[in-house]
Amino acid sequence: MTRMSIAAALNAGLRAALESDPHVVLMGEDIGALGGVFRVTDGLQKDFGAARVIDAPLAESAIMGTAVGLAMRGYRPVVEIQFDGFVYPAYDQLVNQVARLHYRSGGLVRMPIVVRIPYGGGIGAVEHHSESPEAQFAMTPGLKVLTPATAHDAFWMVQEAVASDDPVVLMEPKRRYWESSEVGDQPAPTWSSVVRREGSDATLVTYGPMVATCLAAAETAAAEGREIEVVDLRTLSPLDLQPVMASVRRTGRVVVVHEAQRTLGIGAEVAARIGERCFFHLEAPVGRVTGYDMPYPPSRVEEEFLPDVDRILDAVDATFTAGSDGEAL
Amino acid sequence: MNPSLPTESDESDLVRLLTPEGARVEHADAGWSGTDADLFALYRDMVLTRRIDTEGYALQRHGELGLWPPCLGQEAVQVGTAHALRAQDMAFPTYRDHGVAWVRGVPPERLLGIYRGTEHGGWDPAEHGIALPAIIIGAQTLHAAGYAMGVLMDEAVGHADSSRDAAVAVYLGDGATSQGDTLEAMSWAASFSLPLVFVIENNQYAISTATSRQTTVPLVRRAAGFGIHGVRVDGNDVLASQAVMEAALGRARDGHGPTVIEAVTYRRGAHTTSDDPSRYRAGEETEYWEARDPIARVRVLLDSLGTFERELAELDAEAEALGERLRSACRTLPEPDLAALFDLVHVETTPELREQQEAAIAWKALDTEETAS
């Protein structure tokens, strides 16, 4: 067991991946001498050389598109998109090429590419630096999407993503980069969700940067005598909703929490599937606490936009009061 | 003046080794030193490429294909440049590069499958040294640049070893030169000194849009801004096309970096069978380019040699047989199985996809049962 930050855990995981397979190459903007704007690749170019930790020209579509060619040549590229909002120039290559070449080629061409994207808000940034586009990748056939919430998951997930023969988008919760936790010796199963806190009264389903917020909400609720279970999805594509269904069957009350905008977000899919599988176990409609359906706001009001403990607990309360005052269920 | 009828000054910098009339000419910077047998091999591949193209067009008109993008008129640049590739090289083609695919040994039935809708393009790029055709315009330029990065990482250039040193060729049209991806790929190629040759088949049109809308200067001049060597060639001259490609690939294999080739040619057919060129170009233009046919000029040369009569007669029969083979193969291409496509989404499938796959199979079985009863 070692205690480290999520950024340090990602760095250690990337180092392990570079050590274990000479075909692993890192590519991105400013990832070399600078170590990336978040220092996630700190020291890697020094140790593995500029041919394996490549400072790319400033062109995201090219970073993604050349990763396709590298993969065709037998390499396992790990590309860094500097900020979430910068992924859109690469979106065409990601969705039209990376995600489809295995399918297009009848299974003959593999795309073992990892796309690392720092995502989410809460860091007081200017526009285009606080986006949560994860649903756009999770809804794209051919891509898999992972998001760690702990240093342990960060360390193991990045290695599992590199080992995957399928393209994986690794969404890294940037506002949690510097939060430290224990890194253990055994990874959780790769494409699985986990219960972060057990509770019998209600269920919070969340992932990435909102896991810590939901755990804080559960802590507050416990002080008030309400036990909330918190499920960390970890994998957004494929979704593993077994722990969610099991939890909802016990609690009957569930709220999905994410920073991303509400409409057609991950929460919409989770709520739909709960409806399909657990409808008769529900005591109340599935709640959602999310960002609002507006472009990410100026940072001075981002705390109002982002789900916080109070909004989450208010939504949990609503699952207990729904219907009791004549409100339609 | 019609923008697609080149003026003398437009042609002054063209590398040309065989005139439209079929006369060999010299050029200070390029030469073709093949044998007569090599000349016949180029002719054969151009003739067979045209046959594949003609059959594809006819099959679409007979309702056997959903679409066909004709390469009529572009046989020389495609066949000539592809002849310069070696087994260890990799080509990244567009959807119109039937001649490149043919020379690289892709069975043309696989091209028919793409346009019949039985597959998206299932051949193994590693087996044939040619990637699947790009449909998104310009996307392949970046794949080629990345592949070329891999060639450099593999240290597969600069050994003066013809069995080992490798290069990458990417084919693109004049329209693709306006795409950001193409310009990023050129930037990348220059910055990393990639063993990459850009073959711009300037066929004068991007669907209906004339090249003059993509650029105000010859496309080859794009290269200079990136610090890339550029060369402009008569794309209807198979000898010049092969010669400049061999020089460019040689530079790439020797570790001297990328080249941009602008091959000036003309798309004599429609963009695809869904297109109507009469809406945007005049007959005099197509007549001008018909007179500059890439195949006819080689035939003049071959006939003047007078030693290929038997081979030429055999080639007619071979082309007939290829046509017959394609017509019959097209109608018997296996229908795709939707249920099997689920297995191609990922290398390692997911529980959700398995569930949907089972549902699709069950639904189809039910449907089949109902149809049967």
Q: What is the pLDDT of residues A158-180, one digit of tens each?
A: 999 999 999 999 999 999 999 99
The neighbour count for residue A140, using CB atoms within 10 Å, is 20
Say if residue B132 is in the same domain as residue B202. Answer: yes
Inter-chain Cβ pairs, chain A and chain B, closer than 8 A: 140
Which A residues in the span 191-230 are in contact with B, Cβ-Cβ below 8 Å? 191
Mean pLDDT to the nearest integer, B347-352? 97
ipTM over 0.90: yes
Q: A104 CA to chain B: closest CA distance, Å?
A: 5
Taken in order of first residue, the domains within chain A and their CATH numbers are 2-183 (3.40.50.970), 194-321 (3.40.50.920)
The per-residue pLDDT for range B58-96, each reduced to its tens digit, is 999 999 999 999 999 999 999 999 999 999 999 999 999
The per-residue pLDDT for range B303-314, each reduced to its tens digit, is 999 999 999 999
Chain B residues within 8 A of A71 when measuring between CB atoms: 146
Mean pLDDT to the nearest integer, B320-339? 97
Taking an 8 Å cut-off on Cβ atoms, the answer to whether B187 and A66 are in contact is no
Least Cα distance to B95 among B82, B81, B76, B110 occurs for: B110
> What is the CA angle A117-A119-A125, rounded to 5?
120
Would you state the pLDDT for residue A200?
A: 98
pLDDT over threshold 50, residue B189: yes
What is the span of the domain harbouring residue B344?
Answer: 338-372
Would you state the pLDDT for residue B2?
A: 57
Mean pLDDT to the nearest integer, A88-103? 98
Q: How confident is the model at residue B373 (pLDDT cuts 50, 70, 90)?
A: confident
A171 phi, psi to nearest 5 deg: -90, 115
Q: Which of A67, A97, A166 sits opposite B348 (nearest CB)?
A: A166
The per-residue pLDDT for range B313-329, each reduced to its tens digit, is 999 999 999 999 999 99
Q: B155 in contact with A at a CB cutoff of 8 Å?
A: no
Would you state the pLDDT for residue B1?
A: 45
Would you state the pLDDT for residue B370?
A: 81
Q: A243 in contact with B at a CB cutoff of 8 Å?
A: no
pLDDT over threshold 80, residue A327: no
> What is the CA angle B206-B207-B209, rounded to 5?
60
Q: Which of A66, A166, A191 sits opposite B347 (nearest CB)?
A: A166
Say if residue B137 is in the same domain as residue B173. Answer: yes
Token output for A229: 């279970």
Say if residue B201 is in the same domain as residue B150. Answer: yes
The per-residue pLDDT for range B271-302, each reduced to its tens digit, is 999 999 999 998 899 999 999 999 999 999 99
Q: Which of A65, A238, A240 sits opposite B139 (nearest CB)?
A: A65
Say if residue B150 is in the same domain as residue B281. Answer: yes
Say if residue B201 is in the same domain as residue B148. Answer: yes
Would you state the pLDDT for residue A329?
A: 45
- Residue A313, helix vs strand vs coil: helix
Is residue B3 one of the residues assigned to a domain? no
Say if residue B249 is in the same domain as residue B343. Answer: no
Is residue B172 one of the residues assigned to a domain? yes
Chain A residues within 8 A of B346 when measuring between CB atoms: 102, 142, 144, 166
Looking at the structure of chain B, the number of domains it has is 2
Would you state the pLDDT for residue B372?
A: 78
Q: B188 in contact with A at a CB cutoff of 8 Å?
A: yes
Decide: residue B343, CB within 10 A, 0-12 exposed, 13-18 middle, 19+ buried.
middle
Q: B346 in contact with A at a CB cutoff of 8 Å?
A: yes
Q: B313 in contact with A at a CB cutoff of 8 Å?
A: no
Say if residue B125 is in the same domain as residue B243. Answer: yes
Parallel, antiparallel, or unpaired for β A168-173 and A254-261?
Answer: unpaired
Taking an 8 Å cut-off on Cβ atoms, the answer to whether A65 and B124 are in contact is no
Q: A37 in contact with B at a CB cutoff of 8 Å?
A: no
The per-residue pLDDT for range A186-200, each reduced to its tens digit, is 999 999 999 999 999
Q: A65 CA to chain B: closest CA distance, Å?
A: 5
Say if residue B261 is in the same domain as residue B284. Answer: yes
Is residue B2 one of the residues assigned to a domain? no
Chain B residues within 8 A of A277 when measuring between CB atoms: none
Q: A272 in contact with B at a CB cutoff of 8 Å?
A: no
Q: How confident is the model at residue B358 (pLDDT cuts 50, 70, 90)?
A: very high
pTM assigned to the model: 0.96
Is residue B107 one of the residues assigned to a domain? yes
Is residue B368 one of the residues assigned to a domain? yes
Share of chain A above pLDDT 70, in %: 98
pLDDT over threshold 60, residue B149: yes
Chain A residues within 8 A of B123 when measuring between CB atoms: 105, 108
Q: What single-letter amino acid sits at A269? A: E
pLDDT over threshold 80, residue B10: no
DSSP class of B199:
E
Say if residue B349 is in the same domain as residue B251. Answer: no
DSSP one-letter string for A104-134? HTTT------EEEEEE---S---TTSS---H
Is residue B268 one of the residues assigned to a domain? yes
Taking an 8 Å cut-off on Cβ atoms, the answer to whether A106 and B122 are in contact is yes
Taking an 8 Å cut-off on Cβ atoms, the answer to whether B345 and A70 are in contact is no
The CATH number for B164's domain is 3.40.50.970
Chain A residues within 8 A of B352 when measuring between CB atoms: 238-239
Say if residue B244 is in the same domain as residue B360. Answer: no
Chain B residues within 8 A of A142 when measuring between CB atoms: 345-346
DSSP one-letter string for B147-191? HHHHHHHTT-SSS--TTT---EEEEEETGGGGSHHHHHHHHHHHH
Q: Are A25 and A49 in contact (CB under 8 A)?
A: no
pLDDT over threshold 80, residue B16: yes
Is residue B316 one of the residues assigned to a domain? yes
Is residue B1 one of the residues assigned to a domain? no
Would you state the pLDDT for residue B371?
A: 80
Q: A71 in contact with B at a CB cutoff of 8 Å?
A: yes
Ranges assigned E (strand) in chain A: 2-5, 24-28, 53-55, 76-80, 114-119, 144-146, 168-173, 180-183, 194-197, 202-206, 228-232, 235-237, 254-261, 287-291
Say if residue B278 is in the same domain as residue B351. Answer: no
A129 is catalytic: yes
Say if residue B198 is in the same domain as residue B129. Answer: yes
Q: B182 in contact with A at a CB cutoff of 8 Å?
A: no
Q: Which of B124, B142, B341 sits opposite A108 (nearest CB)?
A: B124
Q: B117 in contact with A at a CB cutoff of 8 Å?
A: no
Q: Which residue of the set A129, A152, A258, A281 is catalytic?
A: A129
Q: B180 CA to chain A: closest CA distance, Å?
A: 8
DSSP bridge partners of B202: B264
